[in-house]
């Protein structure tokens, strides 16, 4: 009742102010906590847009920092040619004092990217990487964008953001989850390189496959080199082998369609492996990055070629009393395997690691009857992010 009385009284005061010569305003309530004073000429569609936008701002702030933004009641929105821009500025001016002054600008850039679709944060990040000649660490504004996509644990965001001086707050939050900061850096770099590929940051003119790539110098800390190769229509996968000492280098593979849009990405250590390509892939960008503290990589040679062979083959299958024996012929670069049924991924058995290249037998037990069901498939992941699968033959069938 008190809230209703306040809104009624607020309406009277706004009308009185308008009669006294002050520009009129429209009063819009957003939820139970926020009242907006919009320019008087705002139409009903503008009121709805303002209400929805404010709700998104409040939800994103609360999700990111763990508490609602400290908005005044009412929040007056000045006149502007762009209602959303004016509303965002008003919301940010009211909320920013809750953040340490040094942490506010990157958070603002990230909020603009998420709520207004402003590409400045990513473009400025790519420009900074280009100017510095490498990627030491993600800019703070891009840390927000990455974490919003990367983590499903919303409590983690409030513990990690803002990142803090020298990323201290972020580092402590990662430590509580058992995630080394170096692993976070690699995942964040993979995210950044994928977005940069979408933005046309990497070479567009492809070379053909097969190809040999020799690194004739050490890459300084944070530096990277990228090459783009033509995948060609109907190429199932690209195989890779490495010779020489990669040191601290990491490799990233970015498959793109004919318009340059990112379709698939993978990353890992430069080593023998394979990377599957989506049917619409036309180019593959291969990128080497040095996340280490010392120059690294001189003399590393990568060989790439088109491949149709999966990284493993099932040579023999035996089933007996809830046991499943698999004899696999494995190529290099397989990370692990798991058994699953199409459409029932939740029923999959836990993944088991590969024993490396060669002929190996695996004995699997249990699965609550999963091992005896028809349609069972063996799925493997490669160290470069590839995913392959094969049907497990039924008793009496010949292995594929």
The closest alpha carbon to 225, from 252, 265, 243, belongs to 252
- Measured distance CA(296)–CA(269) in Å, rounded: 13
Range with the poorest average pLDDT among 161-170, 231-240, 329-338: 231-240
Match 């957003």 to its residue by tokens. 30
Beta strand pairing call for 237-243 and 273-276: antiparallel
Match 């670069």 to its residue by tokens. 333
**pLDDT of residue 156 exceeding 50:** yes
As a 3-state breakdown, the chain gives helix, strand, coil percent values, each rounded to 5, of 35, 30, 35
DSSP run (H or E) holding 329: strand 323-330
**What pLDDT shows up at residue 178?**
94
Written as six digits, the tokens of 193 are: 């390189």
**pLDDT of residue 14 exceeding 70:** no
Which residues, 6 or more positions from 393, have their beta carbon under 8 angstroms from its beta carbon? 314, 317, 399, 400
Match 């690699």 to its residue by tokens. 186
**What pLDDT shows up at residue 347?**
59
**What pLDDT shows up at residue 1?**
35
**What pLDDT shows up at residue 19?**
33
**What pLDDT shows up at residue 260?**
84
Neighbours of 184 (CB within 10 A): 23
**pLDDT of residue 50 exceeding 70:** yes
Chain segment 363-372, per-residue pLDDT in tens: 988 666 677 7
How many percent of the chain have pLDDT more than 70? 90
**pLDDT of residue 229 exceeding 50:** yes
The closest alpha carbon to 364, from 323, 317, 393, 392, belongs to 323
**pLDDT of residue 381 exceeding 70:** yes
Neighbours of 191 (CB within 10 A): 19
The closest alpha carbon to 276, from 228, 318, 234, belongs to 234
Half-sphere exposure in the Cβ direction for 140 (13 Å, CA)? 19
- CA 339 from centre of chain: 26
Identify which has the larger pLDDT, 118 or 273: 118
**What pLDDT shows up at residue 117?**
95
**What pLDDT shows up at residue 8?**
33
DSSP 88-102: HHHHHHHHGGGS-GG
**What pLDDT shows up at residue 23?**
59
Range with the poorest average pLDDT among 107-111, 118-122, 304-308: 304-308
How many percent of the chain have pLDDT more than 90? 52
Beta strand pairing call for 377-382 and 334-340: antiparallel
Task: Place 337 in a pLDDT band, splitting at 50, 70 and 90.
Answer: very high
**Average pLDDT value for the chain:** 86
Identify which has the larger pLDDT, 310 or 74: 74
């Amino acid at each position: 009742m008190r809230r209703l009385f306040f809104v009624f009284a607020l309406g009277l005061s706004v009308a009185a102010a308008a009669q006294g010569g002050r520009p009129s305003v429209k009063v819009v309530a957003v939820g139970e906590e926020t009242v907006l004073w919009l320019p008087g000429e705002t139409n009903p569609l503008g009121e709805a847009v303002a209400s929805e936008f404010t709700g998104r701002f409040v939800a994103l702030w609360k999700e990111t920092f763990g508490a609602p933004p400290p908005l005044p009641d009412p929040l007056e929105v000045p006149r502007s040619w762009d209602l959303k821009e004016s509303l965002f500025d008003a919301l940010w001016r009211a909320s920013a004092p809750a953040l340490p002054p040094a942490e506010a600008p990157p958070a603002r850039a990230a909020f603009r990217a998420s709520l207004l679709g402003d590409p400045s944060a990513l473009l400025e990040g790519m420009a900074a990487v280009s100017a510095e000649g490498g990627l030491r660490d993600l800019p703070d504004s891009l840390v927000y964008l990455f974490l919003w996509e990367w983590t499903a644990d919303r409590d983690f965001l409030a513990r990690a953001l803002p990142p803090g001086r020298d990323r201290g707050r972020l580092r402590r939050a990662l430590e509580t989850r058992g995630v080394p900061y170096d692993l976070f850096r690699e995942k964040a770099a993979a995210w950044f390189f994928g977005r940069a590929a979408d933005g046309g940051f990497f070479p567009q003119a492809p070379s053909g496959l097969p190809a040999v790539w020799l690194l004739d110098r050490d890459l300084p800390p944070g530096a990277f080199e990228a090459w783009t190769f033509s995948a060609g229509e109907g190429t199932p996968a690209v195989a890779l082998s490495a010779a020489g000492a990669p040191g601290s280098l990491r490799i990233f593979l970015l498959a793109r369609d004919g318009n340059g849009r990112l379709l698939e990405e993978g990353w890992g250590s430069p080593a023998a492996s394979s990377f599957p390509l989506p049917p619409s892939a036309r180019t593959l960008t291969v990128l080497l990055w040095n996340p280490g503290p010392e120059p690294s990589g001189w003399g590393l040679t990568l060989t790439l070629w088109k491949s149709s062979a999966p990284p493993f083959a099932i040579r023999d299958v035996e089933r007996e009393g809830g046991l499943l024996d698999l004899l696999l012929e494995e190529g290099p670069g397989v990370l692990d395997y798991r058994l699953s049924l199409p459409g029932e991924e939740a029923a999959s058995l836990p993944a088991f690691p590969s024993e490396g290249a060669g002929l190996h037998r695996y004995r699997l037990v249990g699965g609550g009857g999963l091992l005896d069901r028809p349609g069972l498939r063996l799925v493997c992941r490669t160290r470069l992010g590839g995913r392959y699968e094969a049907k497990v033959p039924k008793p009496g069938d010949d292995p594929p």
